[in-house]
Structure 1
């Protein structure tokens, strides 16, 4: 066995990858969203401290989940190789290693919400593949007699060639099976096709009001496109739900439990509104914010149909992937356009943004309001629930804070000295913006022009000219709400309920 010492960890690695491939293929075949690796990754996200999750969002952005998946695969590869090395001396130790890895997978699947029994089948298939493949690849080493005679050396060389051929064959089959799994797992394609064929009566094309535009190049467009709209969610694999299979349950502290399907919403009277969404993880001057034209059914009407009991003060929203958020009941039943959205910018929701149905609640950060792929609304009380982010240190209730941002110029830009054009956006949802001011090098606050959007639930573009002498300068911005609140310059972190402070850029004026 010593002559093949290198082959044992390689055998473990190949067997491990083969098990992942078969489990992935079976999951795709059975339309199981949470493959073992995905289930482990989502469990890591659920169990991670809030500060670690926030660090990942801030440092890695949209790459946070791919980095997590790669990290898990690297750890698994090392574990597979270690199990193969253990098998060289103790066959039972390798079996224990496979059992432990499978147990982690079972636990990760089990903690997901509403897991069907079929979700465990890929794990069973993967485990059997691990054990059988490792035994198949290493059997020749166990049976090979130890000898140093020339004939023994020839036999050993043949054995090595046989191993390389066998291991390569298994590896190729694993890659092929993974590719086949992607072909078989056509759930997203089916959903995309269903989405493309949808016709939603009552959904209109967005028309950006002329008064909402400030007319300065470089300022963020007032309407954010689907492609540019920020993406924050905890799902490793996006839920793919065909419209005719979607259901929403409204229950809890209600007189009548209500179950809705997609057609129920399509047939309902729709509401449409411009609403700016803002992630609580958005730092001062950040880009985790966007404005879109949303179409859907007002939640107030649906909750009225259910008959909310007097003691209720919250609604626990649950996504298809198990994510939860607690929303103040009052925000869903007052006169704001809190809705179950079916469309974004005049078209059915993109899968990434919650297709077929998501919630939109103006004036609240997304972590307490904006549930993508929503499937459950439990009318309840805050003292009875703990939602995903509130369990990690974020606030229970979180209205969007008054804020502003400089888009033009950007930090590091060189601009001509003299009257420098500056511009950006400001927001104070449910209240509105009455004014924006800028300051150069800590000097006096200078008022600038603001646009006039048709609603207070969106951001406001602003622009103006400020004098700058040649040299380096620091430019700051602050906004004032229609309620008279002046944006604070006190710098606070995004945790627990949103960042505060004045956005600052450093530029150079060239004379």
Structure 2
């Protein structure tokens, strides 16, 4: 009990110090993020596929249970082998220090929460040892094996548990109170008005008009979320800075106000995660507002030989992006708004990068704070260190939304519909095949850009019974989507999406 109470109090104290010092993440979160970063690429991809948004809470829960077990063991050891208990407490602290130190740009002050937690552990355990220590019986006092319910040691222990526990609870409550700074950032975001940001509804020509097909515009709350941060950064725009440096003629540092004072442009763009399986949902389309990276990088003046930009997030995550992709005319931007409003915190507020035509792990840096112009041969980024490809253009892909697998549909004429995409290239045709038959062309909507997905639909006839329908797309470059099935690792999944359904006779009589 002493070990568990002591351990929890130390964690609460470290969280309090982290909040006081405005450290983004507590040691517990830092350890969890290191665990995420240490996860092999295939296992991480599988976890995203199977667990989705539950993966992070499960990881944190596992770490908490493991810590409680370590705390209990350390407490048990204190009265038996104090040196072993001290080593265990210090070892746990060393793990926390290592996790914090592995973050990019860690300041010395960020180690103080861990050191505070270790100090609380050792002091609290010594307090318990003093309380539980009982003087040896004198020679003229017979010893007794009978337990004494009101022994001072027991009363003192319970009082110590209550005191230490209260201190821990107060620390935790105070830390939560200090978390209100996140609420303050949310208020700043709510009140923020960015000149030049407009609302835009779905263009009429982008809609195919089939009920059940995925909306062409993805609302912010429905946009997929994939990132490694357990504690989403809460950055006040007044404190945000973007540094552009490395192999450039001149280094540039921009404040948020300086960024949004530049020429703001707006584009429809579809983003998709490399972990998206064939037919998966890790893809979305939004109206983005921001400043073109080509303008910023041209101003910095990349030096000859540079071919990459190493992007770094406030949480230390990195991605390496081809310099050409951030300086050509494809519309890569430092985005500050999504669907006509400032970026949600979870999507990178106050600023993030978007590069059409590349999977997010090589291009889409949320909470971006640093752009280093460099060479691919000189750097590795978060996912490339884990076995993913260095460069990963988006693969030609398509998905069936209507009907869905397992549906029962009326026999006869059936509308099959969905979405298809290959950003920066565009879709020229979508074809479907029923039960392995010939490929039949469908019709596609006509958005005014090739940087987004397109809705498509095809009319087929089905007899009563079980059926299977497949889809493939043809790009504007003439590429026909391959049916070769590949897993997402190392540079994106491939294959034809198919669904199975049952057609029933509407009028069996």
TM value normalised by structure 2: 0.95
173-182 or 233-242, which deviates more: 173-182
Residue in structure 1 matched with residue 149 of structure 2 by the alignment:
154
Shift in Å, 1:154? 3.3
Instruction: Give deviations 1:94-150, integer Å, cap 9, x for gaps.
Output: 111111111111111111111112111111211111112222234333326588738
Partners in 2 of 1:267 and 1:113 — Cα distance?
Answer: 29
Residue in structure 1 matched with residue 11 of structure 2 by the alignment:
20
SS at match of 1:143: coil
Relative distance call for 1:214 and 1:145 in structure 2 (3 A) is farther
Relative distance call for 1:412 and 1:92 in structure 2 (3 A) is same
Partners in 2 of 1:192 and 1:401 — Cα distance?
Answer: 36
Partner of residue 47 from structure 1, selected from 38, 55, 60: 38
Shift in Å, 1:467? 1.2
Q: Can you give the 5+ residue segments of structure 2 that lack an aligned partner in the other structure?
A: none
Partners in 2 of 1:450 and 1:319 — Cα distance?
Answer: 37
SS at match of 2:149: helix
SS at match of 1:276: strand
Partner of residue 316 from structure 1, selected from 310, 326, 338: 310
Residue in structure 2 matched with residue 332 of structure 1 by the alignment:
326
Partner of residue 467 from structure 2, selected from 451, 468, 473: 473
Residue in structure 1 matched with residue 127 of structure 2 by the alignment:
136
TM value normalised by structure 1: 0.95
Residue in structure 1 matched with residue 352 of structure 2 by the alignment:
358
Partners in 1 of 2:492 and 2:503 — Cα distance?
Answer: 33
Residue in structure 2 matched with residue 72 of structure 1 by the alignment:
63
Partners in 2 of 1:388 and 1:236 — Cα distance?
Answer: 15
Partners in 2 of 1:421 and 1:27 — Cα distance?
Answer: 56
Residue in structure 2 matched with residue 56 of structure 1 by the alignment:
47
58-67 or 333-342, which deviates more: 58-67
Partner of residue 304 from structure 1, selected from 298, 308, 321: 298
Q: Is 1:213 aligned with 2:204?
A: no
Partners in 2 of 1:135 and 1:358 — Cα distance?
Answer: 48
Residue in structure 2 matched with residue 7 of structure 1 by the alignment:
none
Q: Can you give the 5+ residue segments of structure 1 that lack an aligned partner in the other structure?
A: 1-9
Residue in structure 1 matched with residue 255 of structure 2 by the alignment:
261
SS at match of 1:452: coil
Shift in Å, 1:80? 0.5
Shift in Å, 1:93? 1.5
Partners in 1 of 2:469 and 2:400 — Cα distance?
Answer: 9
SS at match of 2:478: coil
Shift in Å, 1:192? 0.9
Q: Is 1:344 aligned with 2:316?
A: no
Residue in structure 1 matched with residue 117 of structure 2 by the alignment:
126
- Check the 8 A contact 2:307/2:323 in 1, yes or no: yes
Partner of residue 114 from structure 1, selected from 93, 97, 105: 105
Q: Is 1:401 aligned with 2:395?
A: yes
Relative distance call for 1:141 and 1:467 in structure 2 (3 A) is same
SS at match of 2:148: helix
Partners in 2 of 1:439 and 1:391 — Cα distance?
Answer: 40
Relative distance call for 1:357 and 1:154 in structure 2 (3 A) is closer
Moved over 6 A (4+): none
Residue in structure 1 matched with residue 494 of structure 2 by the alignment:
500
- How many residue pairs get aligned? The number is 501
Shift in Å, 1:321? 0.8
Relative distance call for 1:201 and 1:163 in structure 2 (3 A) is same
Shift in Å, 1:385? 0.8
Shift in Å, 1:444? 1.4
Relative distance call for 1:11 and 1:508 in structure 2 (3 A) is same
Shift in Å, 1:168? 4.4
Q: Is 1:455 aligned with 2:446?
A: no
Partners in 2 of 1:330 and 1:144 — Cα distance?
Answer: 77
Residue in structure 1 matched with residue 458 of structure 2 by the alignment:
464
Partners in 2 of 1:154 and 1:234 — Cα distance?
Answer: 52
- Check the 8 A contact 2:132/2:157 in 1, yes or no: no
- Check the 8 A contact 1:339/1:360 in 2, yes or no: yes
- Check the 8 A contact 1:34/1:119 in 2, yes or no: no
Residue in structure 2 matched with residue 6 of structure 1 by the alignment:
none
Relative distance call for 1:84 and 1:420 in structure 2 (3 A) is same
440-449 or 372-381, which deviates more: 440-449
- Check the 8 A contact 1:317/1:374 in 2, yes or no: yes
Shift in Å, 1:39? 1.0
- Check the 8 A contact 2:132/2:154 in 1, yes or no: no
SS at match of 1:153: coil
- Check the 8 A contact 1:31/1:185 in 2, yes or no: no
SS at match of 1:102: helix
Instruction: Give deviations 1:38-81, integer Å, cap 9, x for gaps.
Output: 11111112222112221221111112111111111111111111
- Check the 8 A contact 1:279/1:367 in 2, yes or no: yes
Shift in Å, 1:452? 0.5
Relative distance call for 1:442 and 1:154 in structure 2 (3 A) is same
Partner of residue 421 from structure 1, selected from 415, 420, 428: 415
Shift in Å, 1:223? 0.5
